[in-house]
Structure 1
Amino acid sequence: MNRTSWLALVVAAGAISGCASRTEIVDVPLQATPQNAEHIARATLSPVGNQTSIWLTIGGVPHNMAIPSRLDTAIYAGSCQQLGAQPAYRTHQANSVDYPSLAPRTQYWAQAPVALNELTKGEYALLVRASPADGSRPLFCGNITAG
C-alpha cells in the first residue's frame, strides 16, 4: 500500500468513526435532596426516535422504602433550584432492571415522551421521586444540559 492509499484509508476510517460517535447521549449528574442525603445517582439520556430513554444508576435510597424500590421520574421546566409548578413531561415509571435488588447500586429505566434535542435546547431538570406508596418524596434532581 503506497503512502497516498494509506493516508486515504486513515482519513476514511477517521470520518467513519467520527460519524459513528455522534450519537447524542447526555449524562446528567443527580444531586441528592435533603430527604436522601449522602446518596449518589446519575442519569444517562439517549434518543429513541422522538422520545428519550432515561437510564438511572442509583447509589442509594432511604432505607424505609419498599424493596424492590420503585421510583417516579418527571422532567420539569426550569432548574433544580427553581422547578416549574407541574412537570413539563411525565415519564413512564422508572422500573428497576435489577429486580429484586438489595444491592447498594441499582439501575432503573424510564422513557420520556419528548425528543432529547428538545430537552437540551431548553432549560429542564430531571426529578426523581419515591413512588406514591413510599410518600412521593423527592430523592434526586439534575439539570439537563447538552455536552
Structure 2
Amino acid sequence: MNRASWLALVVAVGTISACASRTEVVDVPLGATPQNAEHIARATLSPVGTQTSIWLTVGGVPHDMAVSSRLDTAIYAGSCQQLGAQPAYETRQANSVDYPSLAPRTQHWAQAPVALSELTRGGYALLVRTSPADGSRALFCGNISAG
C-alpha cells in the first residue's frame, strides 16, 4: 500500500469513527401493562437534530383493537411506576411501518419534539397506548435512561 492510499485509509477510518461516536442510540425495554399482559415491545430512540426519533418493535397488542396498526406514544415526566399527570412531550403519530401486516411483530415510528440528550438525563418514561378510537389504553411503558 503506498503512502497516499494509507493516508486516505486513516482519514476515512477517522471520519467514520468520529461520526459513529456522535450518533447516540438509546434502547428502551418496554414492559407490558396488565391490559396487554404477555406481550413484549422495545423502543429505540435516536437523535434527529433537536428532536427524537422513536422506533417501536411491538410483539403484540390486544386483539380487540379497531385500528391495530395505530398506536399513540407520549413521554411523561417521572417513571413508569409514577407517571406525571400529563405528558411532558406528545409525539407525532406512531403509525405502523409494516401496515397492512398480519405478522405477530410490527414496527411503528414516532417523533418527539425534544432532544434525546434531554430525555437521557433521567426522569422520563415512554408510554405506548392504543389510539383514542380504542380507548387510549396503556399497553407498554419503559423508563428512559442513558445506559
- Shared fold (TM-score, shorter chain, > 0.5): yes
- Cα distance in structure 2, aligned partners of 1:74 and 1:49: 19
Q: How many angstroms does 1:18 deviate by? A: 2.8
Question: Partners in 1 of 2:28 and 2:17 — Cα distance?
Answer: 23
**Residue identity matched to 1:136:** S
The structural deviation recorded for 1:16 is 3.5
Q: Which runs of 5+ in 1 are unaligned?
A: none
Query: Counterparts of 2:25 and 2:91 in 1: how far apart (Å)?
Result: 18
Partner Cα separation in structure 1 for residue 68 and residue 35 of structure 2: 19
Q: Give the Å deviation of 1:20.
A: 2.7
5 Å-filtered alignment, 1:64-83, equals: 64-83=64-83
Letter in 1 for 2:61: V
Measured after TM superposition, the shift of residue 138 of structure 1 is 0.3
- Length, aligned pairs only: 145
Match of 1:146 in 2: 146
Shift of 1:17: 3.9
Deviations 1:14-41 (A, max 9, x none): 6444313221111101000010000000
Distance 1:29 1:45 in 2: 11
Q: Distance in 1 between matches of 2:67 and 2:83?
A: 29
Superposed CA deviations along residues 95-133 of structure 1, whole A, max 9, x for unmatched, are: 011111211000001010001101111310000000111
Corresponding residue for 1:43? Answer: 43
Q: Please, what is the CA RMSD of the aligned residues?
A: 1.9
Listed as ranges, the gaps of 5+ residues in structure 2 are: none
Q: Kindly indicate whether the alpha-carbon contact (under 8 Å) linking 1:54 and 1:112 is maintained by their aligned counterparts in 2.
A: yes
Mapped contact 1:39–1:59 kept (Cα < 8 A) = yes
Task: Give the counterpart letter for 1:103 in structure 2.
Answer: A
Instruction: Describe the SS at the equivalent of 1:118.
Output: helix
Letter in 1 for 2:18: C
CA contact (8 A) 1:55 1:110 kept: yes
**Aligned positions of 1:1-147 closer than 5 A:** 15-22=14-21, 23-147=23-147
Cα distance in 2, alignment partners of residues 69 and 110 from structure 1: 13
Question: Deviation string for 1:41-97 (max 9, x for gaps)?
Answer: 000111111111101000000011124431110000011011111100000111011
